[in-house]
């Protein structure tokens, strides 16, 4: 039997790869929560790596939006936050990967913004409900072109910075990740069969804050990418 689609489905979500016209087909977006001590503290929690495990939330691939975009202030929030993040792009499948093999799964790296409706996230947190409305919404995953690992080598250090209207708000370094990229890949791959096309937003440093219509966000992960996002005037 030859079935037909009742309507045209959405095309494969892709993101750019630096220095080539080739595209990276996106499968899933995993985001690490509370992965810098100073950010956990500003959110009113502490992280003890000896007794706690990393945790994750996800964003649908359709939430991706390229750097350089101008977007509307999102609906149903009055506290729309930026989170500057180092992003890892997975290029090989892996399940129960050991830390020593984790680097093999990496295709490349990007800089990203985990845009957040903080009021909705905190309301969900307080009531023990899922974070989806605060995190997984349209245009909430901003990303630069992916730089292949073949060009950068394994990235383990590098400044992570963000400015709003030219004023620095976040300033940290990848070395301050509580769980580093190898540890995250090893841990996450216990729960999921990691696939080529998966993206991992590794968490944000401290200094998160709100933006308003008309604001311009700029930021970078040193050696990886520069990001910009304009919030349209209301």
Stretch that binds Mn ion, among 37-45, 81-89, 138-146, 165-173 (CB under 5 A): 81-89
**Which residues, 6+ apart, have CB-to-CB distance to 196 below 8 Å?**
25, 27, 90, 91, 92, 93, 107
In angstroms, give the least distance from the CB of 162 to Mn ion.
Answer: 12
Residue 114 to residue 109: CA distance in whole angstroms: 15
Stretch that binds Mn ion, among 61-69, 160-168, 186-194, 196-204 (CB under 5 A): 196-204
Report the residue number, 148 or 178, with the smaller CB distance to Mn ion. Answer: 178
In angstroms, give the least distance from the CB of 138 to Mn ion.
Answer: 17
Stretch that binds Mn ion, among 60-68, 109-117, 146-154, 164-172 (CB under 5 A): 109-117
Stretch that binds Mn ion, among 19-27, 53-61, 137-145, 201-209 (CB under 5 A): 201-209
136 lines the binding site for Mn ion (CB under 5 A)? no
- Closest residue to Mn ion, Cβ-based? 114
Convert residues 35-74 into a mask of x (bound to Mn ion by CB under 5 A) and - (unbound).
----------------------------------------
What are the backbone angles phi and psi of residue 85, rounded to the nearest 5°?
Answer: -140, 150
In angstroms, give the least distance from the CB of 5 to Mn ion.
Answer: 35
Count of residues engaged in binding Mn ion, rule: CB under 5 A: 3
Report whether 8 contacts 172 (CB < 8 A). no
83 lines the binding site for Mn ion (CB under 5 A)? yes
- For the segment 147-176, give every residue that binds Mn ion (CB under 5 A): none
And the tokens for 169?
Answer: 């708000």
- Burial degree of 127 (CB within 10 A; 0-12, 13-18, 19+): exposed
114 lines the binding site for Mn ion (CB under 5 A)? yes
Q: Which of 35, 124, 22 is nearest to 87 (CA)?
A: 35
In angstroms, give the least distance from the CB of 14 to Mn ion.
Answer: 22
In angstroms, give the least distance from the CB of 203 to Mn ion.
Answer: 6
**For the chain, first and last CA: distance in Å?**
52
**Which residues, 6+ apart, have CB-to-CB distance to 200 below 8 Å?**
30, 31, 32, 87, 88, 90, 181, 184, 185, 188
Query: Which residue has tokens 């696939």?
Result: 195
- Beta pairing partners, 112: 85, 143
Stretch that binds Mn ion, among 83-91, 121-129, 192-200, 216-224 (CB under 5 A): 83-91
Pairing verdict, β 106-114 and 84-90: antiparallel
Positions touching Mn ion (CB under 5 A) are: 83, 114, 204
């Amino acid at each position: 039997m030859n079935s037909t689609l009742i309507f045209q489905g959405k095309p494969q979500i892709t993101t750019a790869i630096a220095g080539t016209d080739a595209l990276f087909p996106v499968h899933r977006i995993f985001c690490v929560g509370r992965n810098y001590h100073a950010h956990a503290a500003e959110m009113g929690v502490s992280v003890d790596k000896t007794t706690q495990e990393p945790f994750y939330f996800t964003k649908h691939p359709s939430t991706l939006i390229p750097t350089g975009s101008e977007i509307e202030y999102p609906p149903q929030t009055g506290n729309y936050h930026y989170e500057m993040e180092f992003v890892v792009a997975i290029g090989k499948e892996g399940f129960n990967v050991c830390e020593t093999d984790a680097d093999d799964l990496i295709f490349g790296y990007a800089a990203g913004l985990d845009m957040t409706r903080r009021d909705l996230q905190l309301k969900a947190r307080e009531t023990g409900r899922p974070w989806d409305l605060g995190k997984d919404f349209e245009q909430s995953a901003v990303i630069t072109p992916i730089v292949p690992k073949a060009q950068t080598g394994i990235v383990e250090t590098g400044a992570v910075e963000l400015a709003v209207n030219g004023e620095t708000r976040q300033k940290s370094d990848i070395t301050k990740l509580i769980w580093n990229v190898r540890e995250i890949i090893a841990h996450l791959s216990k729960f999921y069969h990691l696939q080529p096309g998966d993206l991992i937003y590794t968490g944000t440093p401290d200094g998160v804050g709100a933006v308003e219509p008309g604001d311009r966000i700029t930021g970078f992960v040193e050696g990886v990418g520069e990001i910009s996002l304009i919030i349209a005037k209301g």
